[in-house]
Structure 1
Amino acid sequence: MENVPLDPDCADLAPADDALTPYDHEHAITYLRLLDADADGADWREVAEIVLHIDPTREPHRARQAYESHMTRARWLSESGYKLLLRHGWPSEN
């Protein structure tokens, strides 16, 4: 996972298509952190603030939407998207 940022800022919505994207590559560690926090039973608000950099007190709707879309993407990647990664590798940034 060369050149993957450790703590990038996140978009309000994660990708939702059935293909890996450059955004997925850039946020691979974000997805892992989300899955880890979920497995630990962390509160979504804390995760949104720490991992996604969105203050859930100030922007509750945006924080919840970003959290949900990124968790959905993280689960997709862990359940089926990884097969695309194994077959084709990460998409290039260009």
Structure 2
Amino acid sequence: MQARLRLDPDVEDEAPRGPTITPYDEQHYVTYMRLLDASRDGADWSEVARVVLHRDPVTEEARTRHCWESHLSRAQWLSKGGYRRILEQAVRNDS
């Protein structure tokens, strides 16, 4: 891991896409885990977006929903297989 892990970072409107772990991903591992926990617990998306993503679902519902969906999708990708990329990149960096 290259980027400094932060506990409650601000987020972009859209999470990264693609098969590579980005510095943004590295900075947002905690964010992704919080989103996965909230999803597992059945939390309301708008409350999660407000607390975890620092978005206002009342004044910017579409933008906030897109942000939440994007980051949750990235978190799910990481948890279902993207984490292998973390390991592969760490091995390459150590070589």
TM beyond 0.5: yes
* 1:88 CA displacement: 1.6
What are the Cα deviations for residues 26-47 of structure 1, in whole angstroms up to 9, with x where unaligned?
0000000000000000000000
Structure having the higher helix fraction is 2
Partner of 2:27: 26
CA distance in 2, matches of 1:33, 1:65: 17
The corresponding residue for 1:63 is 64
* Structure-1 residue corresponding to 2:49: 48
* Residues 4 and 26 in structure 2, CA contact (< 8 A), matched pair in contact too: no
User: Which letter does structure 2 place at the counterpart of 1:88?
Assistant: Q
Amino acid of the residue matched to residue 72 of structure 1? S
How many pairs were matched up? 91
Return the alpha-carbon distance in structure 2 between the equivalents of residues 84 and 13 of structure 1.
20
Q: How much is the aligned-residue C-alpha RMSD, in angstroms? A: 1.8
Counterpart CA distance in 2 for 1:88 and 1:21 is 10
Structure 2: 5+ residue stretches without partners? none
Structure 1 runs of 4+ aligned residues shifted over 2 Å read none
- Structure 1 gaps, min length 5: none
| TM-score, normalised with respect to structure 1 | 0.91
